[in-house]
Amino acid sequence: MKVIICGAGQVGWQIARHLASEKNDVTIVDSDQDLVTRATDTLDVKGVCGFASYPNVLSNAGAEDADMIIAATHSDEVNMVTCQVAHSIFNIPRKIARLRGQSYLDAIYSDLYRRDHLPIDVVISPELEVAEAALKRLSAPNAFESESFLNDKAQLLGLHIGENCPVINTPLRQLTDLFSTLRVIVVGVRRQGVLFAPNAGDQIFPSDEAYLMCHSKDSERTMDVFGKSYGEQNRVILIGGGNVGLKIAKSLENSENKVRVKIIEKNRFRAETAAETLERTIVLHGDGLDSGLLEEANISKADAILAITDDDKTNMLAAVRAKSRGCKKAIALINDPTMSPLTKPLGIDAYINPRSTTVSSILKHIRHGKVKSVYSIGDAEAEIIEAQVMSTSPIAGVRIGDIDFPEGVIVGGILKNGDMIKPDSNSKIEEGDVIAVFALSKDIPEVERLLQVTIDYF
């Protein structure tokens, strides 16, 4: 497939890396020559320097016969005009745009994106993706990563393995014998910075990062088995009252658990806007790094702090200071992926990478056919692909033990007749089943072949 990616920042670069690795014809466009050069030097892609919304620039990028355009520049307006030009002049079939402005995303204006108005097939909102990711992190308090699959019947949990984990030094095959009713599979392990798919004879050691796929009803017990308490988040403090903070606070206000929320916002206008918009949330105007203000917010009694300003260093320092003052859990928003390895030594429990969440959302819409969702793990090291098994798939009607999956692939769960089952080698995958598959990046093309799912725009 021929794809044009507009914007060579982190999101554009990551999408280009995914698509280029899968032997697609990718051209990346950006007005910054240095970013274009970085992409062409490190990836198997073509590059064009220029403004993405200019027809001549898109023509140079090969828009005349492109199958898809992904507009992910830093400007909403450029992204929108790019899609309009792609449609009106080049008739590109599939158009995806990343939009940040909240007014553009309001449901009452959704008619704007009709083909006879402003033709955008898929609109991606980074702020909405980040807010949803933050809420998922809160749903599993002691997991550094959390995501739902299979109609919310399955949950992916990322756990730091400590010395007190009851199942360290235990071959994974023995977990089924020890906990026969526990529906959980270890699908991935990161050890000394390297992510791999474990086999039945592998063990888990302290300092590992384990990715587990469990039945949602077993998530609390799974956390306990792996040495983590579950706990509830009744008191939450948000550092940052912008659009992301407002979305999180509104969701928590509407939750059944009656979560008590406080927001600390440095900008007076945003603080006043938050105070007027929210009903039960307490809004404090000031610096989230101010010890006195944290004490006023009663940080020592808080169950969790979410540092979600637009500055990575502020978020990390606020998270560290909150933990030092007795806050039970600290989550930081980190844009720069090179900063994320610092979270563990600093004692930050979890972090949110907005670029990763946006990449996952875009990939979900790129991989069509029967793919229901795609979740990118780490620095594009692996993916969880959720897809419905088609009748044409080579795995339909075959036992898992008889399928020639690559070593870096593990089936984490199967949705059969509306319920999630824990797969084993004797489980038969049938047409209509929905499966959640962990796959290292190098093995994704083979997974798509086995699922008979291709990157397509139909």
Whole-number Å distance between alpha carbons of 62 and 3: 9
Asked whether residue 340 falls in the same domain as residue 375, the answer is: no
Which residues lie below 8 Å from residue 237, measured CB to CB, with a gap of 6+?
261, 262, 263, 264, 297, 299, 302, 304, 305, 306, 322, 327
Structure tokens at 24: 């697609």
pLDDT bin (cut points 50, 70, 90) of residue 457 is very low
Q: Is the pLDDT of residue 129 over 80?
A: yes
Asked whether residue 330 falls in the same domain as residue 368, the answer is: no
Residue 315 domain flag? yes
Residue 190 domain flag? no
More reliable by pLDDT, 13 or 371 = 13
Residue 136 domain flag? no
Domain with residue 315: its CATH number is: 3.40.50.720
Asked whether residue 344 falls in the same domain as residue 381, the answer is: no
| pLDDT score, position 231 | 66
Asked whether residue 303 falls in the same domain as residue 405, the answer is: no
- Domain closes at, from 295, 327, 352: 352
Residue 74 domain flag? yes
Q: Is the pLDDT of residue 348 over 70?
A: yes
- Tell me: the pLDDT tens digits for 195-247? 999 999 999 999 999 999 999 999 989 999 998 876 677 899 999 998 899 99
| pLDDT score, position 455 | 46
Asked whether residue 313 falls in the same domain as residue 368, the answer is: no
Of 127-141, 375-389, 429-443, give the range with the top mean pLDDT. 429-443
Residue 160 domain flag? no
Structure tokens at 305: 């702090």
Residue 78 domain flag? yes
- Domain closes at, from 124, 156, 174: 124
* Pair type for strands 330-333 and 304-307: parallel
pLDDT bin (cut points 50, 70, 90) of residue 456 is very low
How many separate domains does the chain show? 3
| pLDDT score, position 54 | 96
Residue 393 domain flag? yes
Asked whether residue 347 falls in the same domain as residue 383, the answer is: no
242 DSSP assignment: S
- Domain closes at, from 74, 97, 124: 124
pLDDT bin (cut points 50, 70, 90) of residue 92 is very high
Percent of the chain with pLDDT over 90: 58
Asked whether residue 428 falls in the same domain as residue 342, the answer is: no
Beta bridge partners, 399, equal: 428
Q: What is the dihedral of CA 380, 384, 387, 393, to 10 degrees?
A: 80
Asked whether residue 347 falls in the same domain as residue 364, the answer is: no
Whole-number Å distance between alpha carbons of 47 and 376: 24
- Tell me: the pLDDT tens digits for 292-340? 999 999 999 999 999 999 899 999 999 999 999 999 999 999 988 788 8
Of 44-48, 148-152, 243-247, 361-365, which gets the smallest average pLDDT?
361-365
Report the sign of the C-alpha dihedral through residues 167, 171, 173, 177, in that order. negative
Asked whether residue 387 falls in the same domain as residue 361, the answer is: yes
The mean pLDDT value for 133-159 works out to: 87
Tell me the average pLDDT of the chain: 89
Asked whether residue 389 falls in the same domain as residue 436, the answer is: yes
Residue 148 domain flag? no
| pLDDT score, position 367 | 61
Q: How many helices (H) and strands (E) does the chain have?
A: 15, 24
The mean pLDDT value for 52-81 works out to: 95
| pLDDT score, position 361 | 79
Full residue range of the structural domain in which residue 244 is found:
235-352
The mean pLDDT value for 149-159 works out to: 92
Which residues lie below 8 Å from residue 243, measured CB to CB, with a gap of 6+?
102, 127
Asked whether residue 9 falls in the same domain as residue 119, the answer is: yes
Asked whether residue 302 falls in the same domain as residue 340, the answer is: yes
Q: Is the pLDDT of residue 411 over 70?
A: yes
| Whether the model pTM is above 0.85 | no
More reliable by pLDDT, 406 or 142 = 406
| pLDDT score, position 238 | 96
Which residues lie below 8 Å from residue 332, measured CB to CB, with a gap of 6+?
307, 312, 315, 316, 318, 319, 343, 348, 350, 351, 352
- Tell me: the pLDDT tens digits for 246-304? 999 999 998 877 789 999 999 999 999 999 999 999 999 999 999 899 999 999 999 99
